[in-house]
Amino acid sequence: MNDIITIGDAMIAFNPSDTGPMKFVPSFTRNIGGAELNVAIGCSRLGLEAGWISRLGDDEFGKYIRNFARGEGIDTSQVGFVKGHPTSLNFKEIMEDGSVRTFYYRENSPTAAMTPDDLSEDYFKQAKILHITGIFPGVAEGNLDVTRKAIELAKRHGLTISFDPNIRLKLWSKEAISKVSKSFLPDVDILLAGTEEMEIILGENKPEKIIEACKPYAIDHIVLKQGEDGAAGYHNEQLVEAPAVPPRKVVDTVGAGDGFDAGYLYGYLNKWSLEKSLQFANTIGSMVVSVKGDNEGLPYLEDVQMKLGEIERIER
């Protein structure tokens, strides 16, 4: 049984060899990106059983991504290859302060070939959490119907539904993401969102205001990511704020939110307290930004335990 399954597009992520404006960068290295795949990788490295539902181009890049995911211990039985849809790409621009701009080439995403009928009901029967984001519905027009079908199957079989809006304004408008996100919220059990994202969705950016605006949706866990200000969580009418964990150095901010999500879901599955789950998730987010790449910095469980001072690693 999978502890968590997720559904989304994956890309070849080209990371720059140097910091600065992309037009002056002479070369790039090939890596792998995609928020939903990153969460699956993060969960797998923490020791959870993770599955990923997707489509990839029937090309060398697609085969590379599938093999990489399998190497990370992720169940790829629901990943297929399609012709006529090249594997998605992105190029990153990283500045000296670690800030990032992303340039997408995913207009003809292989996931556009998916239909709701492609989802296996048996696959959902054998999972505990469905993790979705606002990226997948924005990548291709038909992906919204696929996402709604995934939610329907998850609800039918008692899965916990985790949702990270993960807003990408290069994919669709604020109005569209707000409308779609609101339509998901009644079925969401765990909301993992940035406060800036919730301002777009609900018009509020303060934790207390966001929580109040979410009450009509009866969301069990409301978790708000605030970057340098840490995170806030709300569960059982309890609001907990957890301070940020200072990173060694900010190198690349991409993937930090995905690592945070994996950390919180790990705590949820282990029935940790809200405070412990937030601290664990904040620690992972901090570790991710210290490493260049979308998922290269996602830690293994023992790495997080060492960072938290729970275990000691003998180096020599």
Known catalytic residues are 258
> Strands across the sheet with 11-16, in order?
28-33, 11-16, 88-94, 100-105
For the residues of 213-248, what is the DSSP string, one character each?
A: HHGGGT-SEEEEE-GGG-EEEEETTEEEEE-----S
Closest CA to 263 of 168, 196, 164: 164
How many whole angstroms separate alpha carbon 245 and alpha carbon 153?
A: 37
How many other C-beta atoms can be found within 10 angstroms of the C-beta atom of residue 270? Answer: 12
Look up residue 4 and give its amino acid.
I
Is the distance from CB of 42 to CB of 300 less than 8 angstroms? Answer: no
The label of the residue with tokens 């970057």 reads 227
First to last CA, the chain: 38
Q: How far apart are CA 7 and CA 5, in angstroms?
A: 7
Cα-based distances in Å from 35 to 17, 103, 205, 299 = 22, 15, 23, 16
